[in-house]
Structure 1
Amino acid sequence: MVRECGEPGTVRPGGRTARVRAAVLEAAGDALAEQGFDRLDLADIARRAEVGKTTVYRRWGTVAGLVADLLGDMAEQSLPRTDTGSLAGDLKANAELVRRTLADPRQGALFKAVIAAATTDGRTAEALRRFYETRVAEWAPCVTLAAERGEVPPGTDAAEVIRAVSAPLYYRLLTTGTPPDEAAAERAAEAAVTAARAGCFAAPGGDAATGPGPTT
């Protein structure tokens, strides 16, 4: 379906336009990781991407519009969920993916900058919410399948289980400045599995939906 009045940067073009978009998003990610959100400048990003300033201003309009497109692209390009056949294996794979992302010098710095910006910029906050909504939806089926196998109670909130895996890893990065290590990722996955099996994420009576649900 073609969106008629999409926001800047939401159209998915092909050919040369796609190459320009890829170059600009790459440059924006580099600049964001190096300088933070407050120092982003569309002219500087155009220079880094080796494209005309008018192209960047016409297509994205604002820094917030460009960051929103960057996050959307990152969500689409992220690795698909792993299916190991067990909830413990799936959540460990999820935790390890999050850990590797946050431990990466560029990606870790980029997420810290975007999270900081989201506290004061509404459009960035909405883009970040959509990013995590996409990623939670990608991984939520592993909990739904676990419920079908009888590993967790019926009605287990799949989205909350996935959030419970990544939350302590982000908390560690943001409160200590230190990326989570493999042991932290394993603990996060094991804690989420234990809580899910104990029914901590199940609604009374097992009537809650097991899909991704809201991401508030």
Structure 2
Amino acid sequence: MTSDTPGTTRPGGRTARNTAAVLEATLDELGEHGYAGLTVERVSARSGVHKATVYRRWGGVEGLLSAALEWSTTHPWEPERTGALHTDLLALNTTVLHGFTEAPEGSVSAASVAAAFSSPRVAEALRAFMTDRHARAAVLVTEAVARGEVPDGTDPVEVVRSAVAPVYYRLFVSREPVTREDLDLAARVAADAAAGGSFVPRS
């Protein structure tokens, strides 16, 4: 995301409060009505910010949702630690599942993914959001390297991707129920592969 994208500046004072109100309202409206039902008018009414201001700063629903996803990366989040890579990845997979299935966050997360199929601009913002989350979760792998569980040179982000990918597949492609056994298997396969050096880039 470039710094001149509408709605991505971080001004202070009243403007900052209005920005937060609009972007939070955008996510709330997305969760309640989906991308097809997301409108500037609804966001304006919910946030209390005049729709002319919303149009001027964000240009429409694509700009609003893109800015809201980018804004979400500024919120604090760290993965749960358990002391072992397998169970760390299991906890991460559990967090992913809950993030897409528990209200109210689940409806917002699922609608964001659906919106990315309709809007290249939203897709770009979603990729940036996921890149941020993967980078934060990668600490689980770097700590496993420090403990000697996995070899030096292991690509932390690729381990995370491998662990969470089956969860996303079941949620959004095959549309299957996701059980704890599924979460555990995906975590264990990724952890075992990492321990075996599968994620050390070949020279």
TM range (shorter): 0.7 to 0.9
1:167 counterpart residue number:
165
Structure 1 distance, partners of 2:47, 2:108, is: 17
Structure 2 distance, partners of 1:50, 1:155, is: 50
After TM superposition, give the deviation of residue 176 of structure 1 in Å: 5.2
Question: Are 1:99 and 1:179, in contact at CA under 8 Å, matched by a contact in 2?
Answer: no
After TM superposition, give the deviation of residue 107 of structure 1 in Å: 2.3
Structure 2 distance, partners of 1:79, 1:180, is: 23
Alignment of 1:39-78 (within 5 A): 39-78=37-76
Alignment of 1:12-161 (within 5 A): 12-161=10-159
Question: Are 2:3 and 2:9, in contact at CA under 8 Å, matched by a contact in 1?
Answer: no
1:198 counterpart residue number:
196
Note the aligned Cα RMSD (angstroms): 2.4
- SS for the counterpart of 1:76 is coil
Residues 95-132 of structure 1 show CA distances to partners (whole Å, capped at 9, x for unaligned) of: 22212211223322222222222223211111011001
Q: Measured at CA, do residues 184 and 20 of structure 1 come closer, stay the same or move farther in structure 2, by a change above 3 Å? A: farther
Question: Are 2:99 and 2:109, in contact at CA under 8 Å, matched by a contact in 1?
Answer: no
Aligned residues: 203
- Structure 2 unaligned regions, length at least 5: none
After TM superposition, give the deviation of residue 177 of structure 1 in Å: 4.6
After TM superposition, give the deviation of residue 7 of structure 1 in Å: 0.9
Q: Measured at CA, do residues 102 and 178 of structure 1 come closer, stay the same or move farther in structure 2, by a change above 3 Å? A: farther
- SS for the counterpart of 1:77 is coil
Alignment of 1:177-192 (within 5 A): 177=175, 180-192=178-190
Return the letter of the residue paired with 2:191.
V
- Structure 1 unaligned regions, length at least 5: 208-216
1:214 counterpart residue number:
none
Structure 2 distance, partners of 1:179, 1:62, is: 35
Normalised by the size of structure 1, how large is the TM-score? 0.82
Structure 2 distance, partners of 1:178, 1:14, is: 45
Structure 1 distance, partners of 2:180, 2:24, is: 28
After TM superposition, give the deviation of residue 169 of structure 1 in Å: 1.6
Structure 1 distance, partners of 2:67, 2:124, is: 11
Structure 2 distance, partners of 1:56, 1:182, is: 43
Question: Are 2:101 and 2:107, in contact at CA under 8 Å, matched by a contact in 1?
Answer: no
Q: Measured at CA, do residues 109 and 177 of structure 1 come closer, stay the same or move farther in structure 2, by a change above 3 Å? A: farther
2:6 pairs with 1:11: no
Identity of aligned residues (%): 43
After TM superposition, give the deviation of residue 89 of structure 1 in Å: 3.3
